[in-house]
Chains A and B, each alone.
Chain A
Amino acid sequence: MNSHPIIEHIPRLRRYARALVGDRYAADDLVQDTLERAFVKLHLWRPGSNMRAWLFTIMHNVFVNQARSHRPEVELDMEELSTLSVKASQPDHVELADVDKALRSVAPEQREVLLLVAVEQMTYGEVAKALSIPIGTVMSRLSRGRERLRHVMSGASVVPLKVVK
């Protein structure tokens, strides 16, 4: 069983899901749902094409559908966020847990792009394909996501997130 090509991608799917949704269990559920859908749709995957990209596209769709059907349960504590006061230029002082918290304040569609670029190290073109968006949208989401993260981490005036309940 371990020889199935999907299996070797699971660790990366888990890493991305963890970064995307934060909570460990919710992240693994996202991976599980993604794998289930991938198995059902396996006949649509063209042998020889990029399986990683295909799986990330499926995960993106599952994530978007989930976000649409139930609003995020995690409420952001803006006060806490604004007191992170982490200087991005001083990584020695950065608590990694604070980075995770700050990442939650980045809008989901920007977070996706940011993580695919920064963590998954996809090219901009690969991100555009995985998320089915034009490359210009990739660049604008990347830019806004990074700025958002930078402001939160530097303790600069935080633009209040629209609170979704």
Chain B
Amino acid sequence: MSMSITDDELHAYADGELAPELRAGVEQYLAQHPDESERVRAYTTQNGLLRALYNPVLDEPVPERMTRGISRRVSRAWPRFALAAGVMFAGIAIGWVLRGTGIAPFPADVPFARRAAIAHAVFSPEVRHPVEVGADQEDHLVKWLSKRLGTDLKAPKLDVLGYLLVGGRLLSGPQGPVAQFMYQDAKGLRLTMYVSSQKGETADTAFRFAQEGRVSVFYWVDRHYGYALSGEMGRETLLRVANVVYKQLNP
């Protein structure tokens, strides 16, 4: 009396995928066919060995580069993903980063002030990694970002207003690298200054104001560079800071 058991059924049996009503039949078959029984045992052993071998990866700390922040990933891959970066920023912002900030979804072509507001909303809540380079290495930070943006940057000193430099990071924008400096007051309220090349803009501009959800932004163009100061604060308060920043950058 021979039963017909297929190869597929043996695999399904080894993987616990066989329908319960078919199990007894397979077991009976295996009892009568030692070679096949050995084969199935080898399969289950393989499963166990492979899990034993690779499961420890689950407990390894995830490399920081994988979780660190989207813009970090973008800046690493800058030349290759220049185009994708803008889309990425827009797409991700829509989905989750800005949830609760009150900033509405937008298309890929994102205006300067909104990009600054997004970068502010993304990084200012970061507890562990708000910046890539901290204020303790301010010289290095300013040199590095200046080099990447191709201009002499300055990190304004806002101590008089109660804001101390936290540090800065390199981001990616549609026209190339973007610098973000972050400041924080004694209560932990954060301000960011976003600087990007604005090759298309030839004329310098006066201050402009934008409200992106809860984030207020003052922005202006000065010698082909766009500057944006963002913070979750009222217009007048932010304007005071913007004036100080502007004066320091244009002595």
A130 within 8 A of B: no
Select which of B69, B84, B91 is within 8 A of A1 by beta carbon: B69
B236 within 8 A of A: no
Q: How many A-B residue pairs have CB under 8 A?
A: 116
Tell me, rounded to whole Å, the shortest Cβ–Cβ distance linking A89 to chain B.
6
Q: Is the CB of B92 within 8 A of A42?
A: yes
Majority SS at the chain A contact face? helix
A14 within 8 A of B: yes
The verdict on A43 contacting B94 (CB below 8 Å), with A11-B62, A15-B55, A18-B54 known, is: yes
Q: Smallest CB-CB separation from A7: which chain B residue?
A: B67
Select which of A10, A35, A154 is within 8 A of B73 by beta carbon: A35
- In angstroms, Cα B62 to Cα A4, docked, is 14
A103 — which chain B residues lie within 8 A by C-beta?
Answer: 50
Q: Is the CB of A10 within 8 A of B50?
A: no
- In angstroms, Cα B164 to Cα A77, docked, is 59
B52 — which chain A residues lie within 8 A by C-beta?
Answer: 96
- We find that the number of chain B residues with CB closer than 8 angstroms to chain A is 46
Q: Smallest CB-CB separation from A147: which chain B residue?
A: B39
Tell me, rounded to whole Å, the shortest Cβ–Cβ distance linking B169 to chain A.
14
- In angstroms, Cα B19 to Cα A123, docked, is 13
Q: Is the CB of A115 within 8 A of B11?
A: no
Besides the known contacts A32-B65, A146-B43, 11 further A-B residue pairs in the complex with CB atoms under 8 A apart: A7-B62, A10-B67, A11-B59, A15-B57, A42-B91, A91-B45, A100-B53, A114-B50, A115-B54, A118-B46, A139-B7
> Which residues of B are at the interface with A, using a C-beta cutoff of 8 A?
7-8, 11-12, 15, 17, 38-39, 41-43, 45-55, 57-60, 62-63, 65-70, 73, 77, 81, 84, 87-88, 91-92, 94-96, 126
14 A-B pairs (CB sep. < 8 Å): A2-B67, A10-B62, A15-B58, A18-B57, A36-B73, A88-B42, A89-B38, A91-B45, A91-B48, A115-B54, A118-B47, A142-B11, A143-B11, A153-B46
